[in-house]
Each structure stands twice: as C-alpha cells, then as structure tokens.
Amino acid sequence: MFSSVAPLARLNPFHAPQLQLLQDGVRKRPDPAEPPSPRRSLAAAAVAEEEYSCEYGSLKFYALCGFGGVLSCGLTHTAVVPLDLVKCRIQVDPQKYKSIFNGFSVTVKEDGFRGLAKGWAPTFFGYSMQGLCKFGFYEVFKVLYGNLLGEENAYLWRTSLYLAASASAEFFADIALAPMEAAKVRIQTQPGYANTLRQAAPKMFAEEGVWAFYKGVVPLWMRQIPYTMMKFACFERTVEALYKYVVPKPRSECSKPEQLVVTFIAGYIAGVFCAIVSHPADSVVSVLNKEKGSSASQVLVRLGFRGVWKGLFARIIMIGTLTALQWFIYDSVKVYFRLPRPPPPEMPESLKKKLALTE
C-alpha cells in the first residue's frame, strides 16, 4: 500500500519534507546517539537567522511596498493591453465589436497586430503610479487604522479594517491614474484621434484644458474604490481561509514558493469578484472618456442596465488574471527584499481570555 501512497505524497506541493514513508510501513525511530540530520539543522538555523531588511511600518517598508505596487500594476496592466483595448471597444461600440474574438479580428484587420498595442504607454505610466499609491498607501492606512482600533478591535473588525484602508488608498491612487486613463481610452476607442501618448495629451489639453484629464475621476472612483475594497478584503480573508481549511500545515512551516502559490490562488479568487463589482462603473468610464460634454449620470441612463454589463466576460478573464499576478508579484517583491510579511491574523490572547477560550 505504501508503495502507491509514497509517490502521491511527494507530488503534494505542501508535503512535509520530514515525512518518511517506508516500504514496510514502519517509521525509523531516531537513535539518541545518532547526530542530528545536517539538512534539518541547516533549515532550523536558516529560520533562526532569517532577518528582515527593515521594520514593519517603517518608511523603508512603505517605500518598498510602493515599489512592489509599481511593478505589480504597471507590468500586468501593460501586458494585457490588447485584451483591455478590445474590452473598451466592445463597451463603446457594441454594434461593431460584438464579442472578444470578433473584436480582436476586426482590430487586427483594420490596424494590424500593432494596433493591439495602442495605449500601452499611458497604461504603463498610469497604472505604475496607481500601483505605487494603491499598495503603498494600503500598508500605511492598515497600520494607521489598526493602531487607532487597538489590537483586539483590529482583529474583531479586520474585514472592515481592510475595506477602510484599501478605500482610502484607492482614493489617492485614482487621482494619480486619471490623466493617463483618459488618454488611454481616447487612443483606444477613437480611431484617428491619436496613436501615441505624445499625440493625445497635447490634443486633449488644447480641446478641453486640464478638465479633459480629470473629468473621469469621479466615475473612476466609482469603479476603482469598490474594486480595490473587494481586491484587498477578499484577498486577505481568502488567504486566511486557505491556510485554515485547505493548506495542510501552518504558514510558518510552508516554504516561500508554497506561500506564493497560496497568494496566487487567493488573488485569482479575489479578482473574479473584483471584476463583477466594478464593471458597471468601468463601462461608464470608457464611454465618458470617449465623448465630449457628457456627464456620468447621462452616460449611465443612456447605457441602461444591460448596457453597463457589456464586456463583462472579457473583464473577468482580464481582472482575474491581473489580480492574481499582481498579488504574486507584490508578494514576491516582499520576499526578495526580505520585508516583514505578517502571517494571517490570530485572536489575541487577551481577547481569548475575555471570551473564556483559554483555561
């Protein structure tokens, strides 16, 4: 029996390295006189000697978190520009671009494969700035609000803490994103308007002044704040649930690659919910930035209930993948720079005593 179980145990990505399955089913008892295993001694020493490059909540910590946000958002959004372009065109012209595959086909036929990269520059710069503020300020506000609540309330109200911290961070992140988002939508959805950021920005300023870059900030808040609240709160609680109910060993016993696998899975789950919550506002932003003189309420009324859900499937694919990759990259940056990565929250001992959960 053990001959068939052993290969399966080794294939498990969360298998315990110290587990030994022998042919006769009996585990060898350690000999007191036998010296400790060098591998185990080295592993224990590595854990004991592991040091963080900075303190949790320090300026260096926030700066590197912001840098992680630049990489996670800037790179991932730029990588999916072709899908984003087709999604935006479906939203603003559903008669011409009837589906994802039809949208790709029409775009390639009209503009060639280079046409699929339209808007990459404002996407890269805009979402890099957004990532800097989103992830950097999230860590700032999470620490700030957590300190205001106190240890016990921060645990009891941790979901509300995640929601408040992410909403506060996204408020500032969208102000940084708005100008580039407006230019991106013009480039992608108005044929002949401009092909590059250098062409679009001066033209937009000449036509509508500074307002051209910020008229979409309110619907951007409507889209991005619910999206980010779901992104962070759902991710944090999903990670907590995965380690509690799915992963067969504590996080402290998981290797860094194993922890990053959990991060990716939790990120994808969060991304699906993010796409659904934020899609109606995303449709309004796409149409609003294309048209002159329209308001968010006018666009919303004209689109109607069915209209605001156009392109949802493309957005679920895009945002699910994006969110998973963003969390994976962000957590990888933390690992690379040896930043503090607190484990999923546990109930404080003082609260356990109050609730009579300890003897």
- Give residue 68's pLDDT: 97
Q: Between 16 and 262, where is the model more confident? A: 262
| Amino acid at the residue 169 | A
Place 312 in a pLDDT band, splitting at 50, 70 and 90: confident
Q: Is residue 197 part of a domain?
A: yes
pLDDT band at 157 (very low <50, low <70, confident <90, very high): very high
* pLDDT reported for residue 50: 57
- Domain presence at residue 313: yes
Does 322 or 123 have the greater pLDDT score?
123
* pLDDT score of 288 more than 90: no
Structural domain contains residue 226: yes
3-state helix, strand, coil in the chain (%, to 5): 75, 0, 25
Q: Report yes or no on 35 lying in a domain.
A: no
Give the pLDDT mean for 42-56.
60
In the block, residue with structure tokens 């092909």 = 195
> Which has more pLDDT, 295 or 14?
295
Note whether residue 9 is domain-resident.
no
Task: Report the range out of 164-168, 272-276, 354-358 with the highest average pLDDT.
Answer: 164-168
Give the alpha-carbon dihedral of 167, 173, 174, 177, to 10 degrees.
-160
Whole-angstrom CA distances from 51 to 18, 39, 136, 263, 337 are 24, 20, 22, 22, 11
The pLDDT mean for the chain works out to 82
Statement: residue 25 has pLDDT above 50: no
Residue 203 has pLDDT above 80, yes or no: yes
Find the CATH number of the domain harbouring 223. 1.50.40.10
pLDDT digits (tens, 9 = 90+) for 236-278: 999 999 999 999 888 889 999 999 999 999 999 999 888 888 7
Q: Is residue 324 part of a domain?
A: yes
List the domain range (segments joined by +) for residue 137: 59-339
Report the domain count for the chain: 1
pLDDT above 70: percentage of residues in the chain: 84
Q: How confident is the model at residue 21 (pLDDT cuts 50, 70, 90)?
A: very low
Phi, psi for 293 (deg, rounded to 5): 80, 5
The pLDDT score that the predictor gives to residue 16 is: 40
Q: What is the pTM of this model?
A: 0.74
The answer, yes or no, to whether residue 94 has pLDDT greater than 90, is: no
- 43 occurs within a structural domain: no
The conformation of residue 294, written as its DSSP 8-state character, comes to -
Going by pLDDT thresholds of 50, 70 and 90, the confidence category of residue 167 is: very high
| CB environment 315-333: b (16+ within 10 A), e (fewer) | bbbbbbbbbbbbbbbbbbb
pLDDT of residue 356: 75
Report DSSP state, residue 93: -
Q: Is residue 317, in this structure, part of any structural domain at all? A: yes
**Which pLDDT score, from 0 to 100, does residue 194 have?**
86
Q: What is the pLDDT of residue 173?
A: 96
